[in-house]
């Protein structure tokens, strides 16, 4: 069953679909480049956002620059962002469902960013990556195996 990109998280005044969709692309980029899992903690807001990743060592300036470049390259591909409701079984074949609460419904909302990313998500997203703007890291820090990156998107 195909679903519109109508947002489900409009209650927060500072919620930003552009930033949230950029987070999806950042997560997939981190998974692809460093073999880590998607962010273990994220806080997404309009002005700046943060994601935490479990890594063995901090990323170098060169690695951060490459992540930023890759995220912007994916954004520039003008990929469609779509959502669909599928059974939990179908969703498990597409995405990691470990963050789903135990009492989650039998149906799961899957969000796709073109052919680049697929994950279970209830958030609001843009309809196309061309709506995001330019992704930029603000800063980062590393402590006890946790890399925290702070970022923004600029129109």
First CA to last CA distance, the chain: 33
Sign, CA torsion 80/68/143/49: negative
- The pLDDT assigned to 7 comes to 40
Tally of domains in the chain:
1
Please name which of 53, 52, 43 lies closest in space to residue 19, comparing C-alpha atoms.
Answer: 43
* Cα 105 to Cα 76: distance, rounded to the nearest angstrom: 35
- The pLDDT assigned to 89 comes to 94
pLDDT > 90? residue 8: no
Q: What is the pTM of this model?
A: 0.91
Domain span at 129: 2-154
Q: How far is CA 25 from CA 76, 102, 119, in A?
A: 12, 26, 11
* Cα 17 to Cα 44: distance, rounded to the nearest angstrom: 9
- The pLDDT assigned to 12 comes to 53
Given pLDDT bands bounded at 50, 70 and 90, which one contains residue 11? very low
CATH classification of the domain holding 149: 3.30.980.10
As a whole-number percent, the residues of the chain with pLDDT over 90 amount to: 85
């Amino acid at each position: 069953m195909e679903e519109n990109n109508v947002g489900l998280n409009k209650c927060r005044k500072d919620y930003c679909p552009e930033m949230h969709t950029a987070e999806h692309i950042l997560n997939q980029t981190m998974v692809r480049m460093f073999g880590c899992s998607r962010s273990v903690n994220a806080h997404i807001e309009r002005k700046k956002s943060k994601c935490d990743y479990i890594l063995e060592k901090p990323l170098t300036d060169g690695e951060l620059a490459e992540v930023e470049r890759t995220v912007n390259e994916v954004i520039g591909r003008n990929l469609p962002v779509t959502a669909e409701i599928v059974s939990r079984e179908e969703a498990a074949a597409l995405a990691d469902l470990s963050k789903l609460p135990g009492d989650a419904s039998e149906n799961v909302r899957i969000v796709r960013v073109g052919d680049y990313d697929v994950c279970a998500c209830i958030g609001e997203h843009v309809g196309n990556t061309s709506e995001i703007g330019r992704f930029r890291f603000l800063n980062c820090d590393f402590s006890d195996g946790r890399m925290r990156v702070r970022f923004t998107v600029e129109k």
